[in-house]
Amino acid sequence: MTQQKNDPTLQIKPEVPQTASIWQHHHILDVDDFTREEIELVFHTTQAMKEVLSRPIKRVPTLRGKTLITLFYEPSTRTRLSFELAAKNLGADAASLSATASSVAKGESLIDTLGTLQALGADIVVMRHPQSGAPYIATKYIAATIINAGDGWHAHPTQALLDLYTIHEHKGKLEGLKAVIIGDIMHSRVARSNIWALTTMGVEVTLCCPPTLLPFGLDRQHQHLPSVNIEPDIELALDGADAVMTLRLQLERQQSGLLPSIREYIQLYQLTEERLARAKPEALVLHPGPVNEGIELSPAVAHGPQSVINEQVTNGVAVRMALLYLLAGSQKQ
């Protein structure tokens, strides 16, 4: 018998994480209760979803017969579309309910609206709401699976997961990397979720912002808060960074006395090419979108070679498909 040249019996199989023993979530409300293993499972599943997205037919029948409804109390085209596409790519039906100021003014409470969604047969509700904690009410009052697409200042878990996936895809790992988050941390759910997820994965996080926009307690050790560095000087903060995350500045912050002017913010905190050069040469520039060009990012950086902003959008669909897949299952009580 001839010796096989490449004896297939000798190949070593890579370790595949086992969903059943790792995945703990019935809803996705926040990323602060995701274990490291769960986040790695999300990455693994996202990779499979990216493969589906690379096919000529970007569709699999996994969630056939399920209905996903997006309930957005804040306008957002890209996140809403991202979820709807993720659902459709998995064969689910997607519909959207945008609760505008007028329906709220008419007196239809959140509880009433949730009841309506239940009556309409929603299996999955994706909620974006201007008040922190709103999705938690949903989990108590309807049977559907709830995904938080952003609640007030509190959390935007799917954004953090796609941000981390994007960094991971480029760098091959997260442990030991240095990430800097620049901008209005106080009012940012993207910042909070990223702080939690990045620190869980062993990334060293530095926060760079005007002191008036830094929330209480992050500058000290506490059991409820992760350990981060605070550095208000942007050039010092960027030193040796592998990833730079810039946050959108709400222009109203100046009116509420938190900033003397937008002009000063730009002078101190805008990410320019010159400042970016302080980071590592292959450092990634991320932004949750939409970008205020000329405010948090200079146009050159926004469109430059280190920006992965568009990849974040692509990965967003794949990550959301992965999460929908992991959440689907038998009806929970």
Binding site for other proteins (CB under 8 A): 2, 4-11, 13, 16-20, 23, 32, 41, 44-45, 48, 51-52, 55-57, 59-62, 65, 90, 109-111, 129, 131-134, 136-137, 151-155, 189, 192, 215-218, 222, 224-225, 325-326, 328-330
**What ranges in the chain are assigned the alpha helix state H?**
19-22, 36-53, 77-89, 101-105, 110-119, 134-141, 157-171, 189-200, 234-238, 262-269, 273-276, 299-302, 309-327
Instruction: Give the CA distances from residue 85 to residues 58, 158, 273, 283, 318, in Å, rounded to whole numbers and listed in that order.
Output: 10, 14, 34, 30, 10
Tokens of 38: 């769960």
Select 56 or 75, whichever has its Cβ closest to other proteins: 56
CA–CA separation, 1 and 235 (whole Å): 67
Which residue, 138 or 162, is less far from other proteins as judged by CB? 138
The minimum distance between CB 140 and other proteins, in angstroms, equals: 10
Q: What share of the chain is helix, strand, coil (3-state, %, to 5)?
A: 40, 15, 45
Query: Quick one: 10 or 119, whose CB is closer to other proteins?
Result: 10
Nearest to 242 by CA among 291, 278, 194: 278
CB of 180 to other proteins, least distance (A): 19
Return d(Cα 18, Cα 21) in angstroms, integer: 6
Q: Which C-beta is closer to other proteins: that of 102 or that of 216? A: 216
Q: Please identify which residue in the block is written with the tokens 């981060």.
A: 228
Task: In angstroms, give the least distance from the CB of 163 to other proteins.
Answer: 18
Structure token pair of residue 87 = 């659902």
Measured from the CB of residue 8, what is the shortest distance to other proteins in angstroms? Answer: 4
Least distance to other proteins, CB of residue 17, Å: 6
Minimum CB distance to other proteins smaller for 154 or for 178: 154
Q: Name the minimum Å distance from CB 6 to other proteins.
A: 7
Task: Specify the residue for token string 């062993």.
Answer: 202
Rounded Cα distance, 131 and 99, in Å: 14
Q: Which is nearer to other proteins, 6 or 267 (CB)?
A: 6
* Nearer to other proteins (CB atom), residue 276 or residue 324: 324
Q: What's the closest the beta carbon of residue 131 comes to other proteins, in angstroms?
A: 4
Min dist CB 307 to other proteins, Å, is 27
What's the min distance (Å) between Cβ of 15 and other proteins? 11
Contact assessment for residue 85 and residue 318, using Cβ atoms and an 8 Å cutoff = no
Mind giving me the DSSP string for 151-179? Answer: ETTTB-HHHHHHHHHHHHHHHS--TT-EE
Are 149 and 125 spatial neighbours (Cβ–Cβ below 8 Å)?
A: no
Q: Which is nearer to other proteins, 9 or 255 (CB)?
A: 9
Assigned token pair, 114:
């949730």
- Kindly tell me which of 32 and 204 has the beta carbon lying closer to other proteins: 32
Query: What is the arrangement of strands in the sheet containing 93-98, beginning at the earlier edge strand?
Result: 93-98, 67-72, 124-129, 145-151
